Amino acid sequence: MAQHNSHRAAGRAVTPLVSANRAARGLGGAAVLGTVLVGTAFAGTAANAAPAAPAAPAAATASPAAPTEASAAKLTSTQKLRSGDRGNAVEDLQGALNDNGANLAEDGVFGKKTNAAVREYQSEHGLAVDGVVGPKTRASLNGGESIRTSGASASTSSSSSSSSSSIVDRARSVIGTQYTWAGNSPSEGFDCSGLTQYAYKAAGISLPHSSSAQGNGGRWISQSEAQPGDLVVYSGHVAIYVGNGRIIDASGSKQQVVERDIWGSPKGFVTYR
């Protein structure tokens, strides 16, 4: 009758599920049927088999390794990222830019602010300023060495043509950036004198953030004397001359940085050469 009793006595140990080999070793040869132990050894050796259960915590000791690997990851995607892209790779990019001083929402959307932050990062680290995160920009954000050539050479060069080119190139790099009153960076936007101030930094020239002060701080010249990088001064406005009768300026009417023909009647041209 005892063989048909399916009730366990109070306090009796419950035999864990173990492999046939492990059960055979623990029970000294008791019969094994699948994972159910039979025979008189069931009651006598259940307590001896129970210690096999602590094997489960071993998995817990291995699990902390996963967060360590995840935390070391930066920009793991090898795809080029540009305006309009979305997804986890863009979110990782925004996080890396924030680690380098940007202030972006990490929403996975490569919009105007992310584009501006990429361009600013590229400019500050001597990379090609195109707003595209390719192999070189990604490597730099992942802790690789920056090229640092264009900014440094422009700052130290005594050549006026080199300085002029640096000014124009820096201004062109932010075309399309939004107009923001009192702004002077790609991430926040530009007003007219903020743009010229930002562009002139590429040539190592510090300008005040005021169109009238910038006009009065240099030397007035005629249009025929003007070279790329010189200032085109209006009443209450200032632009960068790029040659062939064209300028780059932060336009309040167009609400962005644009390159266009000289418009209206400027007061004159100013050079810091």
113-143 pLDDT per residue, tens? 998 888 888 777 778 778 889 888 988 898 8
Mean pLDDT (whole number) for 173-186: 96
State the Cα–Cα distance between residues 125 and 119, nearest whole angstrom. Answer: 10
State the Cα–Cα distance between residues 159 and 153, nearest whole angstrom. Answer: 10
Both structure tokens of 208? 């005040």
State the Cα–Cα distance between residues 209 and 215, nearest whole angstrom. Answer: 11
Instruction: Please write the tens of the pLDDT for every residue from 221-259.
Output: 999 999 999 999 999 999 999 999 999 999 999 999 999
Torsions phi, psi for 108 (to 5 deg): 75, 15
Query: What residue has token string 């790329």?
Result: 228
Percent of the chain with pLDDT over 70: 66
Mean pLDDT (whole number) for 182-191: 96
Buried (b) or exposed (e) across 202-212, using 16+ Cβ within 10 A?
A: bbebebeeebe
In the CATH hierarchy, which top-level class contains the domain 159-271? alpha beta
Averaged pLDDT score across all residues of the chain: 76
Mean pLDDT (whole number) for 176-200: 96
State the Cα–Cα distance between residues 103 and 49, nearest whole angstrom. Answer: 59
Matching CATH number, 77-141, of 1.10.3470.10, 1.10.2020.10, 1.10.40.30, 1.10.101.10: 1.10.101.10
The predicted structure's pLDDT at residue 13: 43
- Residue extents of the structural domains in the chain: 2-59, 77-141, 159-271
State the Cα–Cα distance between residues 69 and 192, nearest whole angstrom. Answer: 47
Check residue 271 and give left, alpha or beta (phi > 0: left; psi -120 to 50: alpha).
beta
